[in-house]
Chain A
Amino acid sequence: QKEVEQNSGPLSVPEGAIASLNCTYSDRGSQSFFWYRQYSGKSPELIMSIYSNGDKEDGRFTAQLNKASQYVSLLIRDSQPSDSATYLCAVNAKGNSGYALNFGKGTSLLVTP
Protein backbone atom coordinates (compact mmCIF):
# COMPACT_ATOMS: atom_id res chain seq x y z
CA GLN A 1 0.00 0.00 0.00
CA LYS A 2 1.52 3.31 -1.09
CA GLU A 3 0.87 5.86 1.66
CA VAL A 4 0.98 9.64 1.56
CA GLU A 5 0.71 11.19 4.99
CA GLN A 6 -0.20 14.76 5.88
CA ASN A 7 -1.16 16.38 9.15
CA SER A 8 -4.85 17.19 8.80
CA GLY A 9 -4.57 20.42 10.79
CA PRO A 10 -5.97 22.93 10.94
CA LEU A 11 -2.73 24.84 10.72
CA SER A 12 -3.34 28.39 11.82
CA VAL A 13 -0.89 31.17 10.95
CA PRO A 14 -1.21 34.95 11.20
CA GLU A 15 -1.32 37.05 8.06
CA GLY A 16 2.16 37.78 6.75
CA ALA A 17 3.77 34.75 8.38
CA ILE A 18 5.31 31.70 6.69
CA ALA A 19 3.09 28.64 6.51
CA SER A 20 4.90 25.30 6.40
CA LEU A 21 3.04 22.24 5.13
CA ASN A 22 4.59 18.80 5.30
CA CYS A 23 4.08 15.47 3.56
CA THR A 24 5.75 12.07 3.86
CA TYR A 25 5.40 9.14 1.49
CA SER A 26 6.13 5.44 1.71
CA ASP A 27 7.04 4.45 -1.87
CA ARG A 28 10.78 4.94 -2.46
CA GLY A 29 10.19 4.60 -6.19
CA SER A 30 8.18 7.83 -6.32
CA GLN A 31 9.58 10.22 -8.88
CA SER A 32 7.38 13.30 -9.02
CA PHE A 33 5.51 15.30 -6.45
CA PHE A 34 2.72 17.84 -6.64
CA TRP A 35 0.96 20.29 -4.38
CA TYR A 36 -2.68 21.14 -4.99
CA ARG A 37 -4.79 23.80 -3.30
CA GLN A 38 -8.46 23.04 -2.74
CA TYR A 39 -10.90 25.68 -1.56
CA SER A 40 -14.03 24.45 0.20
CA GLY A 41 -16.53 23.18 -2.34
CA LYS A 42 -14.09 23.54 -5.23
CA SER A 43 -11.85 21.16 -7.14
CA PRO A 44 -8.07 20.81 -6.60
CA GLU A 45 -5.88 23.41 -8.31
CA LEU A 46 -2.24 22.60 -9.16
CA ILE A 47 0.14 25.08 -7.57
CA MET A 48 3.56 23.38 -7.59
CA SER A 49 5.34 20.38 -9.03
CA ILE A 50 8.81 19.17 -8.04
CA TYR A 51 10.93 16.35 -9.46
CA SER A 52 14.45 16.77 -8.05
CA ASN A 53 15.88 17.03 -4.57
CA GLY A 54 16.16 20.56 -3.26
CA ASP A 55 14.01 23.66 -3.43
CA LYS A 56 11.80 25.01 -6.18
CA GLU A 57 10.41 28.53 -5.87
CA ASP A 58 7.42 30.07 -7.63
CA GLY A 59 6.33 33.45 -6.32
CA ARG A 60 5.37 33.12 -2.66
CA PHE A 61 5.49 29.31 -2.85
CA THR A 62 8.55 27.10 -2.29
CA ALA A 63 8.44 23.34 -2.61
CA GLN A 64 11.16 21.30 -0.93
CA LEU A 65 11.98 17.67 -1.72
CA ASN A 66 14.19 15.21 0.13
CA LYS A 67 13.91 11.77 -1.50
CA ALA A 68 16.29 10.13 1.00
CA SER A 69 13.97 11.12 3.84
CA GLN A 70 10.85 10.58 1.68
CA TYR A 71 9.67 14.04 2.58
CA VAL A 72 8.20 16.91 0.62
CA SER A 73 7.08 20.27 1.96
CA LEU A 74 5.43 23.47 0.81
CA LEU A 75 6.29 26.86 2.23
CA ILE A 76 3.97 29.82 1.70
CA ARG A 77 5.63 33.15 2.41
CA ASP A 78 3.70 36.30 3.36
CA SER A 79 0.56 34.23 3.95
CA GLN A 80 -2.71 35.92 3.05
CA PRO A 81 -6.27 35.15 4.20
CA SER A 82 -6.96 34.09 0.59
CA ASP A 83 -4.45 31.25 1.11
CA SER A 84 -6.86 29.63 3.57
CA ALA A 85 -7.68 26.29 1.97
CA THR A 86 -6.84 22.60 2.12
CA TYR A 87 -3.47 21.72 0.60
CA LEU A 88 -3.17 18.27 -0.95
CA CYS A 89 0.15 16.51 -1.45
CA ALA A 90 0.20 14.11 -4.41
CA VAL A 91 2.95 11.59 -5.13
CA ASN A 92 3.46 9.96 -8.52
CA ALA A 93 4.91 6.49 -8.87
CA LYS A 94 4.86 3.73 -11.42
CA GLY A 95 2.54 0.89 -10.60
CA ASN A 96 1.73 -2.30 -12.47
CA SER A 97 -0.32 -0.52 -15.09
CA GLY A 98 1.22 2.90 -15.34
CA TYR A 99 1.86 6.07 -13.43
CA ALA A 100 -0.71 7.08 -10.83
CA LEU A 101 -1.06 9.90 -8.33
CA ASN A 102 -1.61 9.00 -4.70
CA PHE A 103 -3.05 11.86 -2.68
CA GLY A 104 -2.77 12.59 1.00
CA LYS A 105 -5.87 13.61 2.94
CA GLY A 106 -4.78 17.23 2.91
CA THR A 107 -3.80 19.84 5.48
CA SER A 108 -6.28 22.58 6.28
CA LEU A 109 -4.60 26.00 6.45
CA LEU A 110 -6.21 28.99 8.12
CA VAL A 111 -4.59 32.40 7.74
CA THR A 112 -5.94 34.83 10.29
CA PRO A 113 -5.98 38.61 9.65
Chain B
Amino acid sequence: EAGVAQSPRYKIIEKRQSVAFWCNPISGHATLYWYQQILGQGPKLLIQFQNNGVVDDSQLPKDRFSAERLKGVDSTLKIQPAKLEDSAVYLCASSARWGIYNEQFFGPGTRLTVL
Protein backbone atom coordinates (compact mmCIF):
# COMPACT_ATOMS: atom_id res chain seq x y z
CA GLU B 1 0.00 0.00 0.00
CA ALA B 2 1.45 3.34 -1.02
CA GLY B 3 1.91 5.88 1.74
CA VAL B 4 1.05 9.55 1.89
CA ALA B 5 2.76 11.49 -0.89
CA GLN B 6 3.85 15.10 -0.60
CA SER B 7 5.62 17.54 -2.88
CA PRO B 8 7.84 19.39 -3.06
CA ARG B 9 10.19 17.97 -0.41
CA TYR B 10 12.07 21.23 0.02
CA LYS B 11 11.25 24.85 -0.78
CA ILE B 12 13.18 28.07 -0.22
CA ILE B 13 11.43 31.38 -0.78
CA GLU B 14 11.81 35.04 0.11
CA LYS B 15 9.45 36.60 2.65
CA ARG B 16 6.25 37.97 1.14
CA GLN B 17 6.36 35.39 -1.67
CA SER B 18 3.72 32.71 -2.01
CA VAL B 19 4.14 28.93 -1.87
CA ALA B 20 1.94 25.88 -2.31
CA PHE B 21 2.27 22.34 -1.02
CA TRP B 22 0.54 19.28 -2.40
CA CYS B 23 -0.59 16.10 -0.65
CA ASN B 24 -2.02 12.80 -1.88
CA PRO B 25 -3.33 10.64 1.00
CA ILE B 26 -3.33 6.88 1.34
CA SER B 27 -5.91 5.43 -1.01
CA GLY B 28 -9.32 5.23 0.61
CA HIS B 29 -8.47 7.46 3.56
CA ALA B 30 -11.30 9.94 3.96
CA THR B 31 -9.68 12.16 6.56
CA LEU B 32 -6.72 14.40 5.74
CA TYR B 33 -4.71 16.65 8.02
CA TRP B 34 -2.12 19.38 7.55
CA TYR B 35 0.34 19.99 10.36
CA GLN B 36 3.12 22.49 10.91
CA GLN B 37 6.20 21.29 12.78
CA ILE B 38 8.72 23.86 13.96
CA LEU B 39 12.16 22.56 14.92
CA GLY B 40 12.13 21.13 18.44
CA GLN B 41 8.33 21.08 18.66
CA GLY B 42 5.65 18.50 18.08
CA PRO B 43 3.40 18.81 15.02
CA LYS B 44 0.64 21.39 15.33
CA LEU B 45 -2.64 20.81 13.50
CA LEU B 46 -3.49 23.48 10.96
CA ILE B 47 -6.55 22.03 9.25
CA GLN B 48 -8.52 18.79 9.07
CA PHE B 49 -10.70 17.61 6.18
CA GLN B 50 -13.32 14.87 6.18
CA ASN B 51 -13.72 13.97 2.51
CA ASN B 52 -13.76 17.45 0.91
CA GLY B 53 -15.30 19.29 3.85
CA VAL B 54 -13.36 21.21 6.51
CA VAL B 55 -13.81 19.71 9.99
CA ASP B 56 -11.41 21.93 11.95
CA ASP B 57 -9.42 24.95 10.81
CA SER B 58 -9.34 26.76 14.14
CA GLN B 59 -5.51 26.97 14.19
CA LEU B 60 -5.06 27.96 10.56
CA PRO B 61 -3.83 31.58 10.19
CA LYS B 62 -6.52 32.43 7.69
CA ASP B 63 -5.10 35.82 6.78
CA ARG B 64 -2.24 34.10 4.98
CA PHE B 65 -2.90 30.34 4.88
CA SER B 66 -5.51 28.57 2.79
CA ALA B 67 -6.19 24.94 2.02
CA GLU B 68 -8.52 22.98 -0.17
CA ARG B 69 -9.32 19.37 -0.87
CA LEU B 70 -11.13 19.11 -4.14
CA LYS B 71 -12.96 15.86 -4.93
CA GLY B 72 -12.08 14.50 -1.48
CA VAL B 73 -8.66 13.17 -2.46
CA ASP B 74 -5.64 15.44 -3.10
CA SER B 75 -5.14 18.56 -1.04
CA THR B 76 -3.20 21.80 -1.44
CA LEU B 77 -1.99 24.11 1.32
CA LYS B 78 -1.00 27.64 0.31
CA ILE B 79 0.80 30.43 2.13
CA GLN B 80 0.49 33.96 0.76
CA PRO B 81 2.41 36.06 1.72
CA ALA B 82 5.02 34.06 3.63
CA LYS B 83 6.67 35.36 6.79
CA LEU B 84 9.99 34.38 8.35
CA GLU B 85 8.17 32.54 11.15
CA ASP B 86 6.53 30.22 8.59
CA SER B 87 9.85 28.37 8.24
CA ALA B 88 8.95 24.85 9.31
CA VAL B 89 8.17 21.38 8.04
CA TYR B 90 4.64 21.02 6.69
CA LEU B 91 3.31 17.53 7.22
CA CYS B 92 0.31 15.94 5.63
CA ALA B 93 -1.35 12.95 7.31
CA SER B 94 -4.34 10.78 6.54
CA SER B 95 -6.51 8.34 8.44
CA ALA B 96 -9.06 5.74 7.41
CA ARG B 97 -11.40 6.60 10.26
CA TRP B 98 -12.61 9.77 11.91
CA GLY B 99 -13.11 10.06 15.64
CA ILE B 100 -11.17 8.51 18.47
CA TYR B 101 -9.79 5.62 16.41
CA ASN B 102 -8.14 7.92 13.89
CA GLU B 103 -4.67 6.42 13.56
CA GLN B 104 -2.86 8.95 11.42
CA PHE B 105 -0.11 8.20 8.93
CA PHE B 106 2.26 10.94 7.87
CA GLY B 107 3.84 11.79 4.57
CA PRO B 108 7.53 12.74 4.26
CA GLY B 109 6.82 16.46 4.72
CA THR B 110 7.86 19.63 2.95
CA ARG B 111 10.67 21.62 4.55
CA LEU B 112 10.02 25.33 3.97
CA THR B 113 12.69 27.96 4.50
CA VAL B 114 11.62 31.61 4.33
CA LEU B 115 14.51 34.06 3.90
Contact = CB atoms under 8 A, between A and B. Distances in A.
Contacts of A94: 100
Contacts of B50: 98
B109 to A, nearest CB: 5
Nearest to A108: B40
Interface residues of A, number: 28
Given A96-B58, A99-B98, A42 B108 contact: yes
Contact of A99 (B42, B100, B107): B100
Nearest to A41: B111
B90 to A, nearest CB: 10
B22 to A, nearest CB: 15
Q: How large is the interface on B (under 10, 10 to 19, 20 to 34, 35 or more residues)?
A: 20 to 34
Nearest to B40: A105
Interface in B53-96: 55-58, 89, 91
Nearest to A8: B40
Contacts of A98: 48, 50, 55-56, 98
B18 interface: no
A45 B93 CA distance: 11
A32 B99 CA distance: 9
A4 B41 CA distance: 12
Contacts of B104: 34, 46, 101
A100 B34 CA distance: 11
A50 to B, nearest CB: 11
Contacts of A70: none
B45 interface: yes
Given A43-B91, A44-B106, A97-B58, A92 B42 contact: no
B105 A106 contact: no
Contacts of A110: none
Contact of A32 (B33, B55, B101, B107): B101
Contacts of B41: 105
Interface of A: 4, 31-32, 34, 36, 42-46, 49, 51, 88, 90, 92, 94-106
9 contacts: A42-B108, A88-B42, A90-B42, A94-B100, A96-B58, A97-B56, A97-B57, A98-B48, A103-B42
